């Protein structure tokens, strides 16, 4: 049920980071900072979570809730988000906050934003958002998103914050997209990022989150970001960098040097694995299988262990 | 010649009726109307050639919204949900490349030639 993708030229070098897929079990990616390195936990792994809580704090990633989506692939995207939030609320150890990696809504309509805010906000967590392209298609080209989530952000909604010694950076790569191109950060945001990182020491763990993957997952379907390399170059000097994305509605990961890349699942509908369908559009599965493909995943990074384990989860 | 002796108002009514009558069969020609469909994250036909003054309709048949944007920004649709259409009239001759503003790897071209 899980996918390994280690697109590094096929030379197998990065296989030293033996990826190990495990079981499906939860609704979000629950991350903890242990020994300065982000470690994600199986949502059902109470013992692990308890251990993590003694060493640091946890946060949880949800993505691609697509409130307003009502097509065959999931006529009730609002219900599956409610289920996901219910599972998060039921966690024995509460995350310190959530991050949402975009596509909160399907069509940027006010009622869709309102419903999402009610369901996600109603759970009582602090939530740090970045927009997906579906959040910026109101008639004012993104003003609806900024009105709701833009406070304290720069430009199209990017920002950073620090928590427990970790520097978090929320980037926006879904505006000013160019013909024939991929996701786009743009010069203004890259300049801001360079400035933002100046005061951060090399030993500070960095967590970057954005909607479209910041690595080349599958360019034929636009799953990558044109100028991500410039951002990643700025992150080379840091000992620990974790990049969290959404957009592709499935788990993928890659470890390259000091950087761990990871994409989360959607709470709304699955999308096909790269190249396995005519298009990346919503994938309709038999009704009984849908919840087995929703939710997101947990990832465990063992410091110094060169081993990255993904523990995926379902809403089933 | 008979028409020339008609009062203007009566003639206008008659012309109006004629217009209505000719408008009615228009849907029968819809299949011939220049149309670009959006399906499976692609514009079909990818290159469409029309004469100046032609109105081209773009229709989204995907379950995901798309957005039609000219490379030179000469036209831009709103987000098209499933089944939504966008029509633009191409008055000048030339090649008009366009892409999807949400999925920019999707590209197409309207060639306007006399």
Average per-residue pLDDT in chain A?
Answer: 82
Tens digits of pLDDT across chain B (114 residues): 333 334 444 444 444 444 444 444 444 444 468 999 999 999 999 999 999 999 999 999 999 999 999 999 999 999 999 999 999 999 999 999 999 999 999 999 999 999
On whether residue B91 sits in a domain, the answer given is yes
Rounded to a whole number of angstroms, the distance from the CA of B77 to the nearest CA of chain A is 10
Rounded to a whole number of angstroms, the distance from the CA of A276 to the nearest CA of chain B is 13
SS3 content of chain B, % helix, strand, coil (to 5): 25, 40, 40
The predicted pLDDT at position A172 comes to 98
Residue A29, SS3 per DSSP: strand
On whether residue B11 sits in a domain, the answer given is no
The predicted pLDDT at position B25 comes to 42
CATH class for the region spanning A21-273+293-312 = alpha beta
> Which residue is listed with tokens 């002796």?
B5
First-last CA distance in chain A: 14
The predicted pLDDT at position A174 comes to 98
Handedness of CA A68, A72, A75, A78 (dihedral sign): negative
User: Residues A91, A95, A97, CA angle at the centre, nearest 5°?
Assistant: 135
On whether residue B70 sits in a domain, the answer given is yes
In chain B, which residues have their Cβ closer than 8 Å to the Cβ of A178? 104
Chain B contact present for A219, CB below 8 A: yes
The predicted pLDDT at position A91 comes to 78
On whether residue B37 sits in a domain, the answer given is yes
Instruction: Please report, for the domain that includes residue B100, its CATH number.
Output: 2.60.40.420
On whether residue B65 sits in a domain, the answer given is yes
With an 8 Å Cβ cutoff, are B41 and A73 in contact? no
Q: Where are the domains of chain A?
A: 21-273+293-312
Tens of pLDDT, residues A80-132: 999 999 888 887 777 888 999 999 999 999 999 999 999 999 999 999 999 99
Q: State both tokens at B86.
A: 């966008």
The residue of B101, B109, B110 whose CB has the most chain A CBs within 10 angstroms, and thus the best one to mutate to test that interface, is B101
Mean pLDDT, residues A37-57 taken together: 53
> Which residue is listed with tokens 């509605």?
A249
The predicted pLDDT at position A315 comes to 73
The predicted pLDDT at position A38 comes to 62
| Segments forming the whole domain that contains residue B74 | 27-112
Q: Shortest CB distance from B107 goes to which of A106, A179, A182? A: A179
On whether residue B5 sits in a domain, the answer given is no
* Number of domains observed in the structure of chain B: 1
Half-sphere exposure of A121 (CA within 13 A, CB side): 10
Chain B contact present for A268, CB below 8 A: no
The predicted pLDDT at position B8 comes to 43
Interface of B with A (CB under 8 A): 40-42, 62-65, 67, 69, 71, 78-79, 81-82, 97-99, 101-107
Regarding predicted confidence, which is higher, A122 or A300? A122
The predicted pLDDT at position A33 comes to 58
The predicted pLDDT at position A10 comes to 36
Regarding predicted confidence, which is higher, A170 or A287? A170
Q: State both tokens at A281.
A: 């559009």
The predicted pLDDT at position A7 comes to 34
The residue of B43, B61, B62, B63 whose CB has the most chain A CBs within 10 angstroms, and thus the best one to mutate to test that interface, is B63
What gap in Å lies between CA A135 and CA A175, rounded to an integer?
A: 11
On whether residue B18 sits in a domain, the answer given is no
- Residue in A with minimal Cα distance to B67: A137
* pLDDT higher than 90, residue A244: yes
Chain B contact present for A198, CB below 8 A: no
The predicted pLDDT at position A307 comes to 33
Chain B contact present for A275, CB below 8 A: no
Tens of pLDDT, residues A200-234: 999 888 999 999 999 999 999 999 999 999 999 99
């Amino acid at each position: 049920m899980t996918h390994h993708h280690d697109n590094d030229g096929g030379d197998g070098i990065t296989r030293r980071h033996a990826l190990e897929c495990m079981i499906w079990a939860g609704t979000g990616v629950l991350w903890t900072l242990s020994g300065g390195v982000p470690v994600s936990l199986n949502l059902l792994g109470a013992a692990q979570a308890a251990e993590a809580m003694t060493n640091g704090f946890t946060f949880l990633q949800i993505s691609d809730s697509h409130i307003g989506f009502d097509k065959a692939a999931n006529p009730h995207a609002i219900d599956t988000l409610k289920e996901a939030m219910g599972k998060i609320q039921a966690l024995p150890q509460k995350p310190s906050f959530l991050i949402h990696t975009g596509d909160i809504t399907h069509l940027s309509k006010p009622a869709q934003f309102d419903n999402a805010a009610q369901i996600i906000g109603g759970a009582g967590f602090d939530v740090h958002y970045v927009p997906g392209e579906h959040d910026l298609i109101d008639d004012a080209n993104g003003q609806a998103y900024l009105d709701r989530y833009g406070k304290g952000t720069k430009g199209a909604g990017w920002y950073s914050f620090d928590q427990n010694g970790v520097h978090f950076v929320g980037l926006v790569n879904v505006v000013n997209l160019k013909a024939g191109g991929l996701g786009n950060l743009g010069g203004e945001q890259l300049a801001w990022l360079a400035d933002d990182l100046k005061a951060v020491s090399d030993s500070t763990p960095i967590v970057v989150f954005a909607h479209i993957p910041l690595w080349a997952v599958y360019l034929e379907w636009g799953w990558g970001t044109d100028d991500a390399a410039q951002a990643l170059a700025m992150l080379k000097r840091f000992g620990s960098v974790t990049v969290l994305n959404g957009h592709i509605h499935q788990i993928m990961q890659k470890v390259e040097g000091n950087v761990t890349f990871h994409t989360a699942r959607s709470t709304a509908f699955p999308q096909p694995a790269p190249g396995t369908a005519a298009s990346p559009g919503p994938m309709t599965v038999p009704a009984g299988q849908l919840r087995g493909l929703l939710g997101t995943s947990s990832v465990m990074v063992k410091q110094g262990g060169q081993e990255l384990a993904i523990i995926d989860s379902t809403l089933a | 010649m008979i028409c020339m002796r008609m009062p203007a108002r009566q003639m206008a009514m008659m012309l109006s009726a004629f217009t209505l009558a000719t408008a009615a069969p228009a849907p029968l020609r819809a299949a011939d109307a220049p149309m670009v469909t959006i399906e499976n994250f692609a514009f079909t036909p990818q290159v469409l050639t029309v004469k100046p003054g032609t109105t081209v309709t773009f229709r989204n048949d995907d379950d995901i919204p798309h957005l039609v944007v000219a490379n030179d920004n000469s036209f831009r649709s709103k987000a098209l949900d499933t089944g939504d259409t966008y029509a633009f009239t191409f008055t000048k001759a030339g090649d008009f490349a366009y892409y999807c503003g949400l999925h920019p790897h999707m590209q197409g071209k309207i060639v306007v030639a006399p």
